[in-house]
């Protein structure tokens, strides 16, 4: 049962994403029908730099709903079940996750937290427990199969699997959902594993669609102050209460 490393891969995004965003934003402020300008956008009659500048400028006003027309899909592996439970709490998204019911976990990979990895005695105890879990899982499957319950073997033996068990998942989110995801999960207060994953996703999004995601990331980076209370602030930015108190 080896330790698994995190991996985030870009699979797909909405075709002609910048052109679609430009057309969507323009329709909000344009008296005509954007379908009539669509061929011009596709054949380059409207420069992409002009489109990107227009989209970025409107975003600065706080008008974000049109970016829902574009979505990204990622394949992710090397994350724990603890991490995936956090991801799927983001509602406006689609998920396809590896099933412990149909995939046998006899050779379960797992995620080793860095805080445990750097302390020898903690790592030793953690890895010993992972081995114990693995053996227990195998024993339970064999017992169930021997008792004529082969169809139940995986789905019932999996009850002993830990949150550290590695999982794989395909995630699709539209740009507005991604921006919200990055606001929360790129924050230093986010759990280390989901933050690492979010940082990798954001890097890809910035490369693919900079007009939207160059301003993506933790909320404090956009606001210029920490929206958390002083109790939870990490210190990278002043809190809103600190700013207002100075202005009095």
Q: Which residues are catalytic?
A: 185
Distance CA 63, CA 214 (A): 16
Q: Which of 75, 20, 88, 78 is nearest to 204 (CA)?
A: 75
Structure-derived torsion over alpha carbons of residues 33, 38, 39, 42, reported in degrees to the nearest 10: 170
Distance CA 1, CA 237 (A): 42
Is the CB of residue 82 less than 8 Å from the CB of residue 169?
no
Q: The tokens of 238 are what?
A: 């002043």
Q: The tokens of 233 are what?
A: 């602030």
Q: The tokens of 154 are what?
A: 């995986």
Backbone angles phi, psi at 204, to 5 degrees: -65, -45
Distance CA 186, CA 218 (A): 5
Beta strand 166-174 pairing with 71-80: antiparallel
DSSP 226: B
């Amino acid at each position: 049962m080896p330790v698994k490393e995190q991996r985030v891969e870009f699979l797909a995004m909405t075709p002609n994403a910048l052109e679609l965003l430009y057309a969507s934003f323009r329709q909000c402020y344009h008296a005509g029908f954007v379908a009539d300008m669509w061929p011009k956008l596709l054949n380059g009659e409207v420069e992409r730099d002009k489109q990107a500048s227009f989209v970025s400028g409107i975003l600065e006003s706080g008008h974000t709903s049109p970016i829902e027309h574009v979505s990204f899909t990622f394949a992710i592996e090397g994350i724990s079940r603890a991490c995936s439970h956090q991801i799927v709490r983001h509602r406006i998204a689609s998920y396809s996750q590896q099933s412990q019911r149909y995939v046998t976990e006899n050779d379960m990979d797992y995620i080793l937290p860095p805080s445990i990895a750097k302390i020898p005695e903690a790592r030793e105890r953690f890895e010993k427990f992972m081995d114990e879990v693995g053996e227990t899982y195998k024993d339970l499957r064999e017992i169930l199969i021997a008792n004529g319950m082969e169809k139940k073997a995986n789905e019932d033996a999996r009850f002993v699997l830990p949150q550290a068990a590695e999982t794989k998942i395909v995630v699709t989110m539209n740009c507005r959902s991604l921006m919200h995801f990055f606001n929360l999960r790129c924050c230093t207060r986010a759990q280390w594993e989901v933050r690492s994953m979010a940082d990798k996703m954001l890097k890809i999004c910035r490369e693919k669609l900079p007009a939207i995601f160059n301003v993506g990331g933790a909320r404090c980076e956009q606001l210029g102050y920490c929206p958390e209370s002083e109790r939870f602030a990490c210190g990278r930015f002043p809190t809103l209460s600190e700013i207002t108190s100075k202005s009095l």
